[in-house]
Amino acid sequence: MTLSIRPMLAGDRPAVLALLLELTAHEATLSAERATGPAAAAACLADDAEKAAEHGGAQIVAQQGDEVVGYLALRLGRIGPFVHEHLRDHVYIENIVVAAACRGTGIGQLLLAEAERFARGAGCKVLHLSVMEGNDMALTAYRRAGFGSFALEMAKVLD
């Protein structure tokens, strides 16, 4: 079956919402602070669209046959002066998800390669993303794609 990577279209919205619903449900198993459910998935999609529009990003899908099986949301960013100048402009991966039934088939790697192509096309030398603590499958996939630790994000939830 043919796999294509392409920009997200308006008609892809229901399929992408289903993928984000899977993602938020998975992340909720890793952290009690993560929101889940249809409203959380819709909020993620709206946030991705807003950031892509405001920051020169993109929303991309992986389509296998007639089915959307992956989603990637990107935005351009600039990090502060604590990093060398040539590394400040970057592409940030807001969201990436592959349908549970298709994980481990290389679709995630193709989406990450698309993120790299997007970054190179924008003149950026760095891709950034965040991954939740305990999301070992994602960590393995990101390391396989050449990502390494850059910073450790920490949070303290206040009462």
pLDDT by residue (tens digit) across 107-131?
Answer: 999 999 999 999 999 999 999 999 9
pLDDT of residue 143: 92
Alpha carbons 150 and 147: distance in angstroms, whole number:
9
- Find the Cα–Cα–Cα–Cα dihedral 138, 40, 42, 55, rounded to 10°: -60
pLDDT band at 25 (very low <50, low <70, confident <90, very high): very high
The dihedral sign for the CA sequence 3, 7, 11, 15: positive
Q: In the chain, what are the domains?
A: 3-144 (3.40.630.30)
66-111 pLDDT tens trace: 999 999 999 999 998 998 999 999 999 999 999 999 999 999 999 9
